[in-house]
Amino acid sequence: MADSKVGYIHSIESFGTVDGPGIRYVVFFQGCPFRCLYCHNPDTWKFSGGTEMSVDAVLEGYERNREFYKNGGLTATGGEPLMQLDFLTELFRKARERGIHTCLDTSGASYAESKREVYAFLLRFVDLVLMDFKHSQREGHIRLTGAPPDGPWAFARQVEAAKVPMIVRHVLVPGITDIPEQLRDLGVLMAGYGNVVGLDVLPYHTMGVSKYRELGLAYPLEGVPSLTPQEAKWARGVILSAFREERKRLRGSGHETGST
Ligand code: SF4
């Protein structure tokens, strides 16, 4: 049968090791509605770019190196994969048919309750979500990404309802997200989702700066230094301690959550 779904793909990494478990075939979707101040992929923002590819063409690349992915699978990232919902769903549906582990790396941008059924259908074919919670406080989220957090938080709620495991990702940025109150609020936010199975705290780095120059864009965090893995470890401790406290409190009040 002809493959009717076409996607706009920024690039594909054949041997990804940081976007989900094992060695992965990582598909970077073109287009993102957020404008995170620390974004190191500004070349994925525009919706007009990217290479037009069919689902089968994307999966052909996977099949070529299939043996390498036996402990890994396929990850959709970006850009924002949810912005190409039909294509993403078809890609994951066909991947699932072939026994491929599917992982969705998303910030939840674009989520709308009106499309609840469409997202529910997608989630039937998702094995793992890497949920990039940008900021745990409303104003901070708007300042950091240009958009409020309601959509992403509602999307995470739907992931929970679909019983898809979720690893929370969080980029630690000096003066923006490394503030203890923000970190504690993130722990509390995470504790409210019963499907959280892990937490990755990623230290801010400046590797994307040259891309801004190439695109003729001003770099919003000029002069902000990179953070170290030790600082990320400290932040992880603050988040997890608030997470455990909140889980305890929720259990004490009879609120049902999963185990982490
Ligand atoms: S969501 Fe990701 S791709 Fe989009 S602006 Fe933020 S960091 Fe960049």
- CB of 110 within 6 A of ligand 1: the answer is no
| Ligand 1 atom having least distance to the Cα of 33 | 4
- CB of 217 within 6 A of ligand 1: the answer is no
Structure tokens at 29: 């979707």
Tokens 């590797």, residue located = 207
Q: Nearest 5 degrees, angle CA 152-CA 187-CA 178?
A: 90
Q: 114 C-alpha to center of ligand 1: Å?
A: 23
* More confident position, 110 or 213: 213
- CB of 39 within 6 A of ligand 1: the answer is yes
Task: List pLDDT tens digits, range 88-116.
Answer: 999 999 999 999 999 999 999 989 899 99
* More confident position, 161 or 5: 161
Q: Which pLDDT belongs to residue 124?
A: 98
pLDDT band at 5 (very low <50, low <70, confident <90, very high): confident
The CA-based diameter of the chain, rounded to the nearest angstrom, is 55
Q: Which pLDDT belongs to residue 2?
A: 44
Q: How far apart are the first and last CA of the chain?
A: 43
Q: 198 C-alpha to center of ligand 1: Å?
A: 21
33 CA to centre of own chain: 14
- The contacts of residue 158 (CB under 8 Å, 6+ apart) are 111, 116, 119, 120, 123
Q: Which pLDDT belongs to residue 142?
A: 97
Q: Which pLDDT belongs to residue 259?
A: 46
CA distance 87 to 54: 8
CA distances in angstroms from 27 to 79, 88, 122, 245, listed in the order given: 10, 10, 17, 37
Q: Which CATH architecture has domain 6-252?
A: Alpha-Beta Barrel (3.20)
Beta bridge partners of 51: 9
Find out whether 38 and 209 touch, Cβ atoms under 8 Å: no
Q: Which pLDDT belongs to residue 254?
A: 78
Beta bridge partners of 9: 29, 51
Residue nearest to atom 7 of ligand 1 (CA): 39
pLDDT band at 164 (very low <50, low <70, confident <90, very high): very high
